[in-house]
Structure 1
Amino acid sequence: MTVPHGLSPAQAAALTRRVTALSVATAAILVTMKAAVWTVSGSTALLASMADSALDLAASLTTFFAVRYAHAPPDAEHRFGHGKAEAFASLMQGGLVFASAALVAREAIGNLIDPQPIRQEGWAVAVMAVSIVLTLLLVAAQTRVLKKTASVAVSGDRAHYFSDLASNLIALAGIGAAAWFGIEGFDAVAALAVAALLLWGAIGVFREASGQLMDRELSDEARAEIVRLVTADATLTDVHQLRTRASGPFVHIQMHVDLDPDLTLEAAHRSIVAAEKRILERFPAADILIHADPRGRAEPHGGAFAEVHT
């Protein structure tokens, strides 16, 4: 699971807000164009692509609002913030992709049984070419944002548009083959390939969102970096019970560390605060909790999460 790289929560929020607004605008343009051309062309592949874009518009709108809610500060009812709103948005996106795949497959099978000729194929090809260009630009923008943030909602949205990119290419090939080479049924076969790609993309979205909702640990590399930052001070040793999880744009980190039992409370406090600051330099959106144990004298911790040295 990835984590933000050096951005404050405010900076990450600004990036995700901009890219989700761009996603909504792109989807709206694509739906409008494809709907207009489909009415005159009758292409099943274009209809499949339009249905996909329409559901992507709904998903993008969900993401648009989810990332804004996820960055809202903690309140009395949500002491750990609202970050998991992004994961819920991704689950909704995955469900919409599955629905899109079902609609596409239904139309494709119907067209295989009763093929319909494509009309105005030049317009159909043109709109698919424009769709490919716009989708490429959006995916490039989303990729840049994801290099700087760990937004699972934006990641899910990008997965949609990666599928769109592939589906647009397949639809373009299907329209061209059916209209210019007279290969009957290829238009519907292309639509079935689009449905298969959508299903594969939805599985990836579900997997990433479920990782956050189930409080999956951060990557081994991130955990090792946290331990390194804490133990950079020789007074802090034996980091154990390290627990991490991502919640939308935020990271929650808690651990136990051993300190010299002869340190004063004030000195121990200074060491722990300094360790927290080192972690925050690397993980600016982190919520950190460090429990101090007297070295050599600590009692094992029980409860629902009995102590395990990891």
Structure 2
Amino acid sequence: MSIEGKDNMYTKEKLKVARLSIISNSILTAGKLGVGFSMHSISIISEAIHSGLDLVAALIAFVSVRESNKPADDRHRYGHGKFENLAAIIEAILILLAAGLIIKEAIPKLYEVTEVKSLGLGAMVMVLSAAVNLFVSTKLMKVAKKTDSPALAADAWHLRTDVLTSLGVLAGIVIIKFTGWYIVDPLIAIGVALLIIKAAYDLLKESLGNMLDVRLPDGEEQAIKEILHSYADRFVDYRNLRTRKAGPQRYMDFNLIVPRGKKISTTHALCDNIERDLRRRLPEVEVIIHVEPCEPEAGDCAVCKASTKFKRGDNHCTCVVCENCRNKHD
């Protein structure tokens, strides 16, 4: 399959699961709100607020996925990948707002305990919510990993947080049922809010890093270096390796130092081979290689400089005068 065909397939798959998230969050938000108000349960209402913001996040994810997959244009020469990073930042801010609202509503309930009604109905809604969110988040995360989509990953983490918080609220309902300790309800709500804050912090940290062009993770940079080292017998050195990421798209550039006498055609073929291997190892990577001739007098090659065959008045590094470069020429 061509790269373009693969990208189109990934886009359709991403949009499909994003729509699924919108539908599930819409249903769960409405259900939790209705049950929460009928039960007078602040913890279930807090869950409804969380699901409501997850719905907004799902809508943002859907739009960002659609926009980020547009091809590069005259104004966006590097494409639109950062739409997904921007969406993830907005989602994180929304999550923090949700946590603040939940805490604001829960704290007064610590001092004015309200009886929680219809515990059985509340338990049923929480079990259903956890099951639905687990199913949808699993599908979202699977596609997010497959397509390297930060927006879908953010949406998946939101829903996984919902699974945990729904189970927490369910535990609170069970405790109230058997003990009558209604103060557990606002305590569970505050616990839900703290979990939400943690999820938002992690998401914000990662997304801001990509917006600010933080380098690729250690594992990916190590993979790049391994590929370069596999060609070490065909060039002198590489320098100034720079990497970054925008949405699912990776960018990297570096200087490749080659023997001064190496043919342009041979060097071009070498760069093509390196780029091919990098693209096989890392998905959606754009590579720029700046080729430079070695300068032995400047210290590019210690062997050249130390070699008795190297003529110090000659800045050329050729197989005639450089033992180190002998096997790196044609």
Q: TM-score, normalised by structure 1?
A: 0.88
Q: Which runs of 5+ in 1 are unaligned?
A: 1-6, 301-310
Q: Which amino acid aligns with 1:84?
A: K
Contact 2:236 2:259 in 1 (8 A): no
Deviation by residue 1:253-286 (Cα, 9 ceiling, x = unmatched): 1111112221222222222122212211222411
Q: CA deviation at 1:51?
A: 0.6
Q: CA deviation at 1:114?
A: 1.9
Q: CA deviation at 1:158?
A: 2.1
Find out whether 1:141 has 2:128 as its counterpart: no
- Tell me how far apart the structure 2 counterparts of residues 172 and 298 of structure 1 sit (CA, whole Å): 73
1:206 paired residue number: 204
- Tell me how far apart the structure 1 counterparts of residues 141 and 95 of structure 2 sit (CA, whole Å): 20
1:305 paired residue number: none
1:1-150 matched pairs, under 5 angstroms:
8-150=6-148
- Tell me how far apart the structure 1 counterparts of residues 79 and 35 of structure 2 sit (CA, whole Å): 45
Deviation by residue 1:142-194 (Cα, 9 ceiling, x = unmatched): 33224323222122222212221121111112222224431121111111111
Q: Which amino acid aligns with 1:165?
A: V
Task: Kindly report the root-mean-square deviation, in angstroms, between the aligned alpha carbons of the 2 structures.
Answer: 2.0
Q: Which amino acid aligns with 1:261?
A: R
Q: CA deviation at 1:231?
A: 4.2
- Tell me how far apart the structure 2 counterparts of residues 128 and 287 of structure 1 sit (CA, whole Å): 45
Contact 2:220 2:282 in 1 (8 A): no
- Tell me how far apart the structure 2 counterparts of residues 85 and 201 of structure 1 sit (CA, whole Å): 20
Q: Give the secondary-structure state (helix, strand or coil) at the position aligned to 2:256.
A: strand
Contact 2:88 2:154 in 1 (8 A): yes
- Tell me how far apart the structure 1 counterparts of residues 23 and 200 of structure 2 sit (CA, whole Å): 22
Q: How many residues are aligned here? A: 294
1:104-253 matched pairs, under 5 angstroms:
104-233=102-231, 234-253=233-252
- Tell me how far apart the structure 1 counterparts of residues 82 and 40 of structure 2 sit (CA, whole Å): 41
Q: Which amino acid aligns with 1:253?
A: M
Moved more, 255-264 or 16-25: 16-25
- Tell me how far apart the structure 2 counterparts of residues 36 and 299 of structure 1 sit (CA, whole Å): 75
Task: Name the % identity.
Answer: 27
Deviation by residue 1:186-239 (Cα, 9 ceiling, x = unmatched): 111111111111111111111110110111111222122223323433323412
- Tell me how far apart the structure 1 counterparts of residues 24 and 189 of structure 2 sit (CA, whole Å): 22
Q: Which amino acid aligns with 1:192?
A: I
- Tell me how far apart the structure 1 counterparts of residues 178 and 116 of structure 2 sit (CA, whole Å): 10
